Structure 1
């Protein structure tokens, strides 16, 4: 079952990629007491993810922070080495938090997994964005069309965060 607005995020352990290596984090602890925008992507270095989806959040990072967002995190079913390299490639190490869900356990617990085996990618994360407040999903935007980042893009979540602030 797919997570919904009003649901608490599942508590599992994933890895946070950093220049110093991987750090195990409990999702319950990571999201506790903070407002976080969580972005889910099918894969690091993939065209839509690298050229459109994540760059929109990098460009709008300061605007999100001024609206009370404590962190912007990117989740993918990739290992922490790939996520750290992708953060460096995008020049986003000092802005976004890159979360590696290597075996997809968090993604499956969210109900946001997708089988992309036909494309040779195996099980991945659906493209989404969500606003999480103290571990509770307040907004959820799941992209329905492959290769696009409109519904789940930075412009959409900016509108929602602004609305939340009003």
Structure 2
């Protein structure tokens, strides 16, 4: 698993925004400013759709006020699914998305889990990272089902403790 002080890897991904999907690299997306990256097992999956993503959308203004320049969600889904999820969730324009269709970024970050038993293949673990200018400042990985350590409220508390 990626550690504090490590640079984010450069992996080919698709960036999904309100403007559409573009080919780019993970370090290009995560390399400037203070970024919160949260990773989810899958778009439209119950916990991701009902608890994780909505918390970041609802707290976007607070995160920005606390110094976050960009909010990014990464998932191992194709960019069409990711765009549809962002639209349905009302998140596009507030959250940018990384479509990591082949789980290459999940693997490079050491945040990959095997969900083949559930018919989902390799996926991200549920986590969040604070990244400053392309270097990881903090890593929050869920150790149980649900959204606790990697949710927006936890990130706000970490920002208050570390950056105030």
Place the TM-score, normalised by the shorter chain, in its bin: over 0.9
- Within a 5 Å distance, the mapping from 1:44-83 to structure 2 comes to 44-83=43-82
Q: Which residue of 2 aligns with 1:41?
A: 40
Structure 2 stretches lacking a partner, 5+ long: none
Aligned equivalents of 1:7 and 1:140: distance in 2? Answer: 11
| Superposed displacement of residue 161, structure 1 | 1.1
**Residues in 2 aligned to 1:140 and 1:60: alpha-carbon distance in whole angstroms:** 19
Aligned to 2:110: 111
Q: With structure 1 as the length reference, what TM-score do the two structures score?
A: 0.95
Could you say what secondary structure the match of 1:45 adopts?
coil
Aligned length: 164
CA RMSD of aligned residues (A): 1.0
Could you tell me which runs of 5 or more consecutive residues in structure 1 were left unpaired when the two chains were aligned.
Answer: none
1:6-155 map, 5 Å = 6-146=5-145, 148-155=146-153
1:162 aligns with 2:160: yes
* Superposed displacement of residue 33, structure 1: 2.6
2:4 is aligned with 1:5: yes
Any idea what the Cα deviations from partners look like across 1:125-144, whole Å, max 9, x if unmatched? 00001100011111111011
TM-score under structure 2 length normalisation: 0.96
Q: Separation in 2 of the partners of 1:122 and 1:109? A: 16
